[in-house]
Amino acid sequence: MNLDLGPADRAFRDEVRAFLAAILTDDLRAGQRATTAMYPEPEISGPWQRKLQERGWLVPLWPKEWGGTGWTGLQRFIFETECALAGAPLVHPMGVRLVGPVILRFGTDAQKRDYLPRILSGADYWCQGFSEPNAGSDLASLSLRAVKDGDDYVLSGTKIWTTQAHHANKMFALVRTSNEGKRQQGISFLLLDMKSPGLTVRPIATIGGDHDVNEVFFDNVRVPQANRVGEENAGWECAKYLLEFERGAGIFSPRLRAQLKKVAEALRAPGADLQRRFGEVAADLDTFEWLELRTMAALPPGGNPGPVASILKLRASRLKQAIGELGVEALRAGAVRWRSSGPLDGGLADILVPEYCNSRAFTIFGGAAEIQLGLIAKTVLRL
């Protein structure tokens, strides 16, 4: 057991550093720094995505013939660490990390030819239509109906918490195509156009004051059956595969460290208690970083981390919250200014306050903390 990077990995790290030094602009850095919602706005993530694509580093998890890098888990971790420490924007993951692998695995040749190049070029901006008003952590209870009519499905119902649906031109959605059998068996996976008649996007203002998520209404929206990925009623397989990527392929610790850097800026005159808590959070983060790295480094390409994914999800979300909480406490009364921070605090209130508020969502989405604890009890403790 040791932390030493071999010559090849060290050379790779230097290559990433050199790339970042050459390509990362102040605008992009500032855009990421100011981002308090899940992902940067398209005007930040778009240009960054193009630069990564030009370098051939946009889709590390894809097969090589489609632009994949063939990186090891350790290399991916090195890459993410260097990007985050340099302040690079987060890549909008919906196309490249979520629907892309699903199309690669379950899509037809025509779907691959249609969609994959447009993901790589950034021509399409995707959103994820999974959650519904009555289907949150219990995703299998989703009910948005898709009824066959000629060559189309006709969709009616509602999706909610749809991140950046207001920017997206495409959605991948789970819809109910059957009410028979097990709940998971009547679900299909569709790709659809956000410009489709009958589809309306309504913004939801969130606790951090951002417009990040939306409600999406479907009033007899027609989607060609050819846009279905995989077999009818077998969409749950696609969803599970996608969720593996969502949960297992995420690398959280570098971004948490970037968040901690901002909090440290606010701790210009920390009292003894805040110093102690900063030390605790730093110890938590160091530990989490190793837990995550050791999981990633042991993972074969496309591998699933297994039960430890729940531990990582739970800890990442709580750390996000602990760092966020320290951030507002460091601001003291400065945290009361809402979107009007002046030169006195260097603009940190505009970042740290929404970041803290939004951090509360991290133990709710993607399987709430209680769901993760249940999974840990079942898979780790075998209860």
Partner 1 sequence: MQEGLTEEQRLIRSSAQDWLAGNYDFRQREAGVHRDGGAPAAWSAFADLGWLGLPLPEANGGFGGGPVETGVLLQAMGRHLVVEPYAAAMQAARLLALAGTPAQQERWLAGSVGGSARLALAHAEPGDVLPWEARRTRARRVDGGWRLDGAKQLVVGGAGAQRWVVSARDAEGGDLLLFFVDPASAGVAVDAYDTTDGGRAADAVFHDVALDADAIVGDAAQAKAKLGQVLAEGLVAQCWQATGAMQAVLEQATQYTQQRRQFGQSLSQFQVVQHRLAEMAVQVHEAEAACELAAMRLARDPSDGRAIAASVRNKVARAARFVSQEAVQLHGAMGVCEELPVAATFRHLLAFAQQGGAAADHAADLGAALLAHGGYARSATLEETR
Q: How many CB atoms lie within 10 A of CB 217?
A: 16
277 binding partner 1? (CB under 8 A): yes
CA distances from 336 to 166, 302, 381 (A): 29, 45, 44
Per-residue tokens: 300: 């074969």
Stretch in the footprint of partner 1 (CB under 8 A) among 41-49, 59-67, 154-162, 366-374: 366-374
276 binding partner 1? (CB under 8 A): yes
Stretch in the footprint of partner 1 (CB under 8 A) among 115-123, 161-169, 357-365, 373-381: 373-381
CA distance 177 to 188: 6
Among 113, 287, 342, 347, binds partner 1 (CB under 8 A): 287
CA distance 58 to 181: 40
Q: How far is the CB of 297 from partner 1 (least distance, A)?
A: 5
366 binding partner 1? (CB under 8 A): no
Stretch in the footprint of partner 1 (CB under 8 A) among 25-33, 93-101, 159-167, 309-317: 309-317
Q: How many CB atoms lie within 10 A of CB 22?
A: 9
Per-residue tokens: 278: 């900063």
- The binding track of 7-26 with respect to partner 1, each residue x by CB under 8 A or -, is --x---x-------------
Phi, psi of 46 (to 5 degrees): -60, -55
CA distance 256 to 101: 25
* Residue of 329, 330, 324, 353 lying closest to 341 (CA atoms): 353
Closer by beta carbon to partner 1, 190 or else 293: 293
CB 89 within 8 A of CB 45: yes
Closer by beta carbon to partner 1, 246 or else 292: 292
Query: Which stretches of the chain bind partner 1, using CB under 8 A?
Result: 1-6, 9, 13, 74, 77-78, 81, 85, 254, 257, 260-261, 264, 267, 270, 272, 274-280, 282-291, 293-294, 297-298, 308, 311, 314-315, 370, 372-374, 376-377, 380-381, 383
